[in-house]
Amino acid sequence: MRMNKSIEIEYKTMLTQQEYLQLMTHYQLDSSNLVTQTNLYFDTSDYQLKEKNMGLRIRYFDSEAEATLKIPQQIGLLEVTDRLELSDVEKALKDNRFPKNAFQIISALNNETVPTDLLGLIGRLVTKRAEKIIPEGKLALDESWYRDQHDFELELEVQDSGKKEEDFFALLKQFNIPYRPAENKIVRAVTVRK
C-alpha cells in the first residue's frame, strides 16, 4: 500500500452547462477524455472532521481506489493519501465504515484526536472529469451528480499560490465566465437543499 502527502492549492468556480461545453470544445476535450470517479465521504455522526474543516473521502474508479484526508494549512490543504483495493471500498460500503487499513490516514486522524472507529459514510458524489495541463496549471472540468443535484465546475490546481489567483481570474475573464464560488464537493454531497 502506497501513501503520499502533498499540498493542494486550487481555485474553482461553478459553471453553467453552456460554459462547461464551451471550455470542453476550446480545449479539445471530448468523451474519450472523461474519467468517471465516485467519491464516498466519511465523518463522525457529530461531524468532528467538519468542525476541524477537514475532509475525508474514498475515490474509486473502475480498477483502482484511494483514500484522501484533507487537512487545512496556512496555504492550501495537506493531502494524506493511501491507496486502497476495490475490495476495501466494497467492504466500506457494506459496513458503512472507513477502512482500517488506510494506515497513514488513520495515524493522521489519531494525531488530530478524531475517533476513527466512529467514521461512517455521510455522502456520495459521482463525477465525470476531463483534465488538461494548460499554462495556468492543471485544469479540471467536472460534471457531477449527487442526491437529486447535477452541476458543472472548473478547478485549476497550481503548485504555488504566487500570482496564480490572478491567472485563474484572467482565465475566467478570457471566456466571459463570472466567478461563482464553489462549495467543496463534500459540502455539496451532504448538504440537504431546501
The per-residue pLDDT for range 46-74, each reduced to its tens digit, is 999 999 999 999 999 989 999 999 998 88
- CA-CA distance, 29 to 119, in Å (whole number)? 38
Report residue 144 CA to chain centroid gap: 11
The letter for the amino acid at 125 is: L
Report residue 167 CA to chain centroid gap: 21
CA distances, 17 to each of 21, 24, 58, 125, 194 (Å):
6, 10, 27, 18, 22
pLDDT at 164: 78
Torsions phi, psi for 178 (to 5 deg): -70, 150
For domain 3-190, the question of CATH label 2.40.70.10 is answered with no
E-strand ranges in the chain read 3-15, 35-43, 55-60, 65-72, 77-84, 120-134, 137-146, 149-158
CA distances, 64 to each of 38, 86, 87, 143, 153 (Å):
11, 6, 10, 20, 24
The per-residue pLDDT for range 81-135, each reduced to its tens digit, is 999 999 999 999 999 999 999 999 999 999 999 999 999 999 999 999 999 999 9
